[in-house]
Amino acid sequence: MIIQLSDLAIISGFSAAISVFIGLFFGLIVLIKSIKTKQFLIFNFFLCIVFTLSPWYPSGLGFLYWQVTGELLTYQIYVLLGTVAIPIAIIAWLNVYLTTLKPKRKKIVLISYGVLSIIFEIYLFYFLFFAPEAPINSLLGIMDDISNPTDIDYKGFLLIFLGLSIVTACATGIHFAVSSIKLKENRSLMWKGYFLLFAFILFGVSAIFDALIDMDTLTLVIIRIILVISNLFFYLGFILPKWMKKLLSIKDEQPQKP
């Protein structure tokens, strides 16, 4: 049966798809950079960019699927697309943050978050596939918005884990950025810090509004534009490409730890 989507759902899905593909484009550039330089931390940046987009995958990819088939993805696929890779993103980012600023705490923090992530994945897969009688709407999430059936209102431990991940990423990201900004003797790192500061702030705003606020067409478009801008700043902050260095009149400098 062909499903009809409201104008709001179409705009939501289309804007999410655009946001995802722009983010994946920047992620691909970072991946190529990591392969060329053979730097594992840059590969972690790639994982951060690609998988922090996970909450927008269901709406964007679900919209594209609807465009092709006229149908919606199943509930299980929607939930998996939006959540299953979140632990990869946060662990990759924590690895960058801790390696750079808190190396002595790296092992215990990554192990702790790794254990929490395993619990999260077990919870997710158990209630999605192995507990058919469980009230999954209250344990995982609800898709009951008639005007926008491609978006999920997460519940239970999923909501707690996603909220914790956003807070952790933004708090550590802002600290990382501020630490880089303070290195004024290295203008390259300083500007990376500025770009990352804007990136984490804008990402936090877009994630919070998308998750908690009922948006109309205008606010939805604005929030998705903010998401795209945050991805651009992530790319600039992680890589600082040559064309941006030229614009900022930055000469190649010896790297320093923030």
H or E segment to which residue 89 belongs: helix 86-101
Residue 59 counted as domain residue: yes
pLDDT(258) > 60? no
Residue 174 counted as domain residue: yes
**What is the token pair recorded at 232?**
């651009």
Residue 256 counted as domain residue: no
Residue 257 counted as domain residue: no
CATH number at residue 53: 1.20.1070
CA distance 116 to 121: 9
In the beta sheet, which residues pair with residue 141?
Answer: 154
**pLDDT of 170-185, one tens digit each?**
999 999 999 999 988 8
Residue 255 counted as domain residue: no
Residue 1 counted as domain residue: no
CA distance 177 to 234: 11
Residue 2 counted as domain residue: no
pLDDT(238) > 80? yes
When the pLDDT of each residue in the chain is averaged and rounded to a whole number, the result is 86
**Total number of domains in the chain:** 1
**What is the token pair recorded at 215?**
């948006």
Residue 74 belongs to domain spanning = 7-247
The string over 174-187, giving b where at least 16 C-beta atoms fall within 10 Å of a residue's C-beta and e elsewhere, is bbbbebbbebeebe
pLDDT at 256: 46
**pLDDT of 67-124, one tens digit each?**
888 888 888 888 899 899 999 999 999 999 999 999 999 999 999 999 999 999 999 9
Residue 145 pLDDT grade (very low, low, confident, very high; cuts 50, 70, 90): low
Residue 35 pLDDT grade (very low, low, confident, very high; cuts 50, 70, 90): very high
Residue 254 counted as domain residue: no
Instruction: Give the percent of the chain with pLDDT over 70.
Output: 93
